[in-house]
């Protein structure tokens, strides 16, 4: 065994005994890079790099020898091309930990890697997660998945490798990246973002000047941030580029957006985020109940007929459609118990008049008496209730003098009346 051969055997034994348990990481969404635990591996040469560039593009699939030769030599391969590819694969196996990463399948080779080992597989997984989130209307999760997928890109895929085989595959990767980018900006605009997107959109548009969807996103973002002139200029610039390079006009969707910006279409305004439900207003505090009724007599007896008749007047008012005020007058000689009867009735009716129960003694108040009644000996018990609480009752007069209480749709009045003596003729 030569010294060089011994070093190679020692190297393979070291990898399998120690570092062989460490998984390599393949990065192809940008310049080709293979690393282990963050340490970049040297692949050995141009042929090894081009062969390894093709294998991860089709993970889990057998890549025939002819495709590997075309990728390595661009249609002008040497006569020893097959031998050199086999030699390049052998060198890759020696340098990359793990015997099963590149396996031989007939006349071709297969790269067997997991999602954690290949950024392309991780990109695909995150795109699928975003699509699933959109189907379930989870827009925030879809945005997060798309952002994570696009963050894997480190530049143009497999930059610097060249060759039509690799460039064709990279074109497919670039298209998928652009579609994901457009979808991400669509979602962000739909979530109410605009000014934050302008700078990123300008960068992507400058890299892909013929991508009309991105131009539309930039126009909308500019318009929503109050930069209408810039939005219109963006359309004019795109139209000029398309006419000079391709001799075509912008797509109808973009032309329609341009017209909507010109006339300030209300549909272009920034969508408002959903407002949280308003807190229920506290119930309106009811004013403190006013009650000036005298205490009823604890030994009140008799007057059952009169009390029933008095209460019946109120019951009749509850079933009436008339909006006028009910006034009930109690007439009798002095000391016959008119006030006690009225107070008794008022206490029994108090729960029907939650806004207040008032008692006015007019005997010692001539000024008040002149407004409420003509005779001086008079007590008025007024039970108040709002019109919304109960229907106002019509005025009902029983035999005897009438009460001169003010009319109000919000109160009923029960009055005790002292009959004045007749004047001497």
pLDDT of residue 222: 96
Residue 389 has pLDDT above 50, yes or no: no
Instruction: Provide the token pair at 176.
Output: 């998928």
How many angstroms separate the CA atoms of 141 and 390, rounded? 56
Residue 339 has pLDDT above 50, yes or no: yes
Place of tokens 């408002």: 272
Residue 19 has pLDDT above 70, yes or no: no
Higher pLDDT, 165 or 7: 165
Would you say 121 and 113 are in contact if contact means Cβ atoms under 8 Å apart? yes
Least confident of 120-124, 213-217, 260-264, 318-322: 318-322
Task: For residues 191-215, give the mean pLDDT.
Answer: 94
Residue 207 has pLDDT above 70, yes or no: yes
pLDDT band, residue 161 (cuts 50/70/90): low
Would you say 380 and 415 are in contact if contact means Cβ atoms under 8 Å apart? yes
Buried b / exposed e over 344-356, threshold 16 CB at 10 Å, is bbbbebeebbebb
Place of tokens 């070291």: 14
How many angstroms separate the CA atoms of 341 and 338, rounded? 5
Q: Is the pTM of this model over 0.85?
A: no
Higher pLDDT, 63 or 286: 63
pLDDT of residue 187: 95
Residue 243 has pLDDT above 60, yes or no: yes
Task: Give the number of C-alpha atoms closer than 13 A to the C-alpha of residue 418, restricted to the C-beta side.
Answer: 15
Task: For residues 337-357, give the mean pLDDT.
Answer: 76
Average pLDDT across the chain, whole number: 77
Over residues 86-129, the pLDDT tens digits come to 999 999 988 888 666 888 888 899 999 999 999 999 999 999 99
How many angstroms separate the CA atoms of 157 and 246, rounded? 26
Strand duo 411-418 + 327-332: pairing:
parallel
Residue 27 has pLDDT above 80, yes or no: yes
In the chain, the percentage of residues whose pLDDT exceeds 70 is 70
Please report which helix (H) or strand (E) contains residue 238, including its range.
helix 228-245
Higher pLDDT, 233 or 335: 233
Residue 317 has pLDDT above 70, yes or no: no
How many angstroms separate the CA atoms of 30 and 269, rounded? 38
Output the CA–CA distances (angstroms, integers) from residue 335 to 208, 306, 417, 419, in the order listed: 107, 16, 11, 11
Residue 402 has pLDDT above 90, yes or no: no
Least confident of 27-31, 139-143, 249-253, 318-322: 318-322
Higher pLDDT, 349 or 265: 265
């Amino acid at each position: 065994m030569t010294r060089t051969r011994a070093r190679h055997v020692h190297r393979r034994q070291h990898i399998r005994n120690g570092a062989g348990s460490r998984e390599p990481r393949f990065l192809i969404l940008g310049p080709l890079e293979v690393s282990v635990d963050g340490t970049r591996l040297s692949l050995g040469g141009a042929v090894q790099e081009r062969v390894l560039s093709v294998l991860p593009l089709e993970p889990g699939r057998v890549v025939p020898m002819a495709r590997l030769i075309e990728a390595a030599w661009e249609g002008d391969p040497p006569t020893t091309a097959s031998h050199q590819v086999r030699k390049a694969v052998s060198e890759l196996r020696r340098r990359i930990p793990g015997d099963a990463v590149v396996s031989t399948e007939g006349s071709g080779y297969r790269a067997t890697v997991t999602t954690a080992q290949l950024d392309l597989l991780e990109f695909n997984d995150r795109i699928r997660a975003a699509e699933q989130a959109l189907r379930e209307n989870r827009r925030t999760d879809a945005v997060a998945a798309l952002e994570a997928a696009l963050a894997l890109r480190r530049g143009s895929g497999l930059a610097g490798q060249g060759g039509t085989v690799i460039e064709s595959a990279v074109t497919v990767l670039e298209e998928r990246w652009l579609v994901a980018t457009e979808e991400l900006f669509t979602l962000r605009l739909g979530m109410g973002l605009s000014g934050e997107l302008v700078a990123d959109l300008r960068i992507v548009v400058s890299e892909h000047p013929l991508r009309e969807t991105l131009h539309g996103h930039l126009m909308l973002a500019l318009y929503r941030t109050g930069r209408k002139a810039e939005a219109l200029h963006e359309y004019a610039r795109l139209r000029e580029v398309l006419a000079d390079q391709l001799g075509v006009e912008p797509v109808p969707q973009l032309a329609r957006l341009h017209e909507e910006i010109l006339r300030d279409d209300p549909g272009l305004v920034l969508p408002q985020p959903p407002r949280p439900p308003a807190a229920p207003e506290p119930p309106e505090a009811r004013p403190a109940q006013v009650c000036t009724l005298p205490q009823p007599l604890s030994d009140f007896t008799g007057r059952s007929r009169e009390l029933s008749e008095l209460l019946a007047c109120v019951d009749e008012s509850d079933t009436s459609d008339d909006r006028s005020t009910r006034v009930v007058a109690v007439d009798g000689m002095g000391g016959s118990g008119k006030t006690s009867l009225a107070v008794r009735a008022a206490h029994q009716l108090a729960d029907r008049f939650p806004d207040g129960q008032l008692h006015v003694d007019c005997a010692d108040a001539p000024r008040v008496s002149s407004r409420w009644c003509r005779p001086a000996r008079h007590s008025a018990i007024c039970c108040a209730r709002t019109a919304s609480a109960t229907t106002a009752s019509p005025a009902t007069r029983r035999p005897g003098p009438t009460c001169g209480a003010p009319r109000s749709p919000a109160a009923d009045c029960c009055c005790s009346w002292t009959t004045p003596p007749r004047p001497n003729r």
